[in-house]
Every structure is written in C-alpha cells, then in structure tokens.
Amino acid sequence: MELKVSNLGCRRGELRVLSGVCFTAASGTALILRGPNGSGKTTLLRTLAGLAPPDEGVVEVPPDSIAYAGHSDGIKAQLTVAENLQFWADVFGHDNIEDALDMFGLGPLADRQAQHLSAGQKRRLGLSRLLVTGRPIWLLDEPTVSLDTDSVAIFGRMVGGHLERGGIAILATHIDLGLDAAETLDISRFRATGDDHANPFLDEGFADWGDS
C-alpha cells in the first residue's frame, strides 16, 4: 500500500497555494510536512483527505484508507469522553474503545463531559479517535498543539506503533517526534507562482481562445 501524489495543485478558495507537488509515501513510513505559516500544509492535507478537490494532478490512494485529524477535534461538549469515542468507533465499525482510551490515559476521564476537559485533554481525545478508525493512512494537521511533553512522547509512540503495523502517517508539525522512519518534505518549494487570483469562470470561458 502506498500513497502516491503526482503533480498535485491545491487551491484554497480562489487562491492557488501549491502546484507540482510530487511524493510517494510507502507502507511503514512517515512524512513530515515543513514550511512556514501559510505555505499550504493544511490545504495539502485537506486535499489529500478528499475534502477539497485537487486543482490539477492526482492523488493515488486506496479507497477508504484515510483518517484525517484537523485543527478541531470534532468533540461534542455535551457528550462524555467515552460517548464521543464510541460514536466514532460505531461510525467506523469498531467496537472496542478501551485500547484507545488507555493509550492517552483517558480511562479515568471516560465518564466526564467533554465540556469540562482541558484543551490538552480534548486534543488527546481527538487523537485517540485515530485508533478507532482502523484506517491505515493518518493525515495529521498540527497534532501536538496544546499537548504536554509526556503526551507528545505518548503520541510519538502511538504513531511509531502505527507505522510498525504497516501504516502511513503524514504530519504537519514543527516538533520532533523521534520517529525513525520519518522523511521531511519542505513544501515551500511547491509554492504556486504566477496568477494567484485566477478566476475559474474566465479561465474556462477563454480556454478555447488561445488555440484559435
């Protein structure tokens, strides 16, 4: 299994952010996306996750293999920790949430309403959701935000274990997670150049004119 991206162009709204992105991530490897703020890390991850259609190029990925974790954790404040996790487990067709709870030490908090969690605890709950998806490719956008050092270490081990089981992880992060099989990709070199504010209507309307 591998994730193959060739000549990918991404758009955020009307703005072209990236173009010509090429990389391959094989089973058991992690790819760390680097780049200054606003360089398109989130846009790239959203495009890979299928939330935004690619502007050009293709993403070759086995169907139903991607688990995406963005800036927000998708936690419902009125539900308890266990109910939140159980919901995602049901959606992805898993029945065991105990392992996922134990991974980040959320067991004692299982019956607490999510609105009473701290920011770091919410993030831990959001990350433990990845374990109940059972998906092989993890797309993680700034996963370590608001985690303490211990939790970051646990998270590093969690991703490491995922890679050992043959998974793939693509992370946008600035923190060293101590992953052995990690490659770094600096995406600032894929920055789209030229007509930043291309108007799709006019582009399509005048597409034929160039030839005649």
Partner 1 sequence: MIALMKRDLQLALRSGGGFGLSLAFFLIVVMFVPFGVGPESGVLARIAPGILWIGALLSCLLSLDRIFQLDYEDGSLDLLTTAPLPMEGIVAMKALAHWLTTGLPLTLAAPVLGFLLSLPSEGYLWIFLSLAVGTPALSFLGTFGAAITVGLKRGGLLLSLLVLPLYIPTLIFGAQSVTLVVEGQTNTSAFLILAAISLFTFALIPFAAARALRVNLR
Q: Which is nearer to partner 1, 28 or 70 (CB)?
A: 70
Helix then strand then coil, % of the chain, to nearest 5:
35, 25, 40
Site size for partner 1 (CB under 8 A): 31
> Which one-letter amino acid corresponds to residue 28?
G
Q: Does 75 bind partner 1 (CB under 8 A)?
A: yes
**x/- map, 99-138, partner 1, by CB under 8 A:** ------------------------------x---x-----
Closest by alpha carbon to 94, among 85, 103, 102?
Answer: 85
Round to whole Å and give the CA distance between 143 and 156: 10
Q: Which is nearer to partner 1, 72 or 118 (CB)?
A: 72
What is the x/- site pattern for partner 1, positions 53-72, by CB under 8 A? x----------x-xxxxxxx
What type of residue is 146? S
CB 170 within 8 A of CB 3: yes
**Contact between 26 and partner 1 per CB under 8 A:** no
- DSSP H or E run through 175: none
Q: Nearer to partner 1 by C-beta: 12 or 157? A: 12
The nearest distance, CB 52 to partner 1, in angstroms, is 4
* The residue to which tokens 């935004």 are assigned: 52
Q: CA 150 to CA 170: how far, in whole Å?
A: 21
Site residues (CB under 8 A) for partner 1?
13, 46, 49-53, 64, 66-79, 83, 87-88, 90-93, 129, 133
